[in-house]
């Protein structure tokens, strides 16, 4: 699957955003190593801190369906669903990615006129990763 194809899934997912408070619509599409795709949107809540980001929605859907290996994520977002600039993942979402993804996991930030490509290592260097808890003394 190309990054452009994955971006189409993210744009479709953005249409499902539930964002009555911020007005920002965000979509994410997560490509599993087996070729399957899981999408997610942001889901806001009157208790603001209960809001779930689009990226975590996609990850939690996939993990809860048994997926553990991922190769790429496309993300797009914008006010009232209009994509302009990039919509980079928040720190909490980056940490969730870190739990399941390698340094070279690709993150495609979708703009109205193109796609910026990053790796997880670029967006979350020197991270707190699962291996740290597995190390002895
Ligand atoms: N949001 C995401 O969906 N992903 C991010 O990584 C950043 C923020 C959502 C949460 C909220 O619904 C809206 O964008 C504004 O913060």
- Out of 60, 77, 109, 110, give the residue to mutate to test ligand 1, the one with the largest number of ligand atoms within 8 Å of its CB: 77
Which positions of the chain have pLDDT values less than 50? Answer: none
Q: Ligand 1 center to residue 26 CA distance, Å?
A: 6
pLDDT for 137? 57
* C-alpha to C-alpha distances, 29 to 49, 85, 132, nearest whole angstrom: 23, 18, 28
Which amino acid residue places its CA nearest to atom 3 of ligand 1?
Answer: 53
Q: Ligand 1 center to residue 56 CA distance, Å?
A: 10
Cα angle vertex 38, ends 24, 134, to 5°? 100
Is 68 buried (19+), middle (13-18) or exposed (0-12) by CB count in 10 A? exposed
Which amino acid residue places its CA nearest to atom 10 of ligand 1?
Answer: 53
Domain total of the chain:
1
pTM: 0.97
**The domain spanning residue 11 has which CATH number?**
3.40.140.10
Contact 110, 137 (CB under 8 A): no
Q: Provide the annotated active-site residues.
A: 55
Which amino acid residue places its CA nearest to atom 14 of ligand 1?
Answer: 24
Tokens 């990763």, located at residue: 129
Contact 121, 99 (CB under 8 A): no
List ligand 1's pocket residues with C-beta within 6 A: 19, 22, 24, 26, 42, 44, 51, 53-55, 89-90, 93
pLDDT for 135? 72
Structural Rg of the chain based on CA atoms: 15
Contact 37, 6 (CB under 8 A): yes
pLDDT for 125? 98
Range of the domain at 36: 3-134
pLDDT for 64? 98
Query: What rounded mean pLDDT belongs to the chain?
Result: 97
């Amino acid at each position: 699957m190309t990054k452009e194809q994955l971006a189409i899934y993210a744009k479709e997912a953005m249409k499902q955003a539930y964002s009555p408070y911020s007005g920002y619509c965000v979509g994410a599409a997560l490509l599993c190593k087996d070729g399957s795709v899981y999408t997610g949107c942001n889901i806001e809540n009157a208790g603001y801190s209960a809001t779930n980001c689009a990226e975590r929605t996609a990850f939690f859907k996939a993990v809860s369906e048994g997926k553990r290996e991922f190769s790429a994520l496309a993300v797009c977002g914008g006010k009232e669903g209009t994509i302009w600039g990039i919509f980079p993942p928040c720190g909490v979402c980056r940490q969730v990615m870190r739990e399941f993804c390698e340094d070279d996991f690709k993150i495609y930030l979708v703009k109205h006129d193109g796609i910026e490509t990053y790796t997880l290592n670029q967006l979350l260097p020197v991270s707190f990763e699962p291996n740290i808890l597995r190390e002895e003394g």
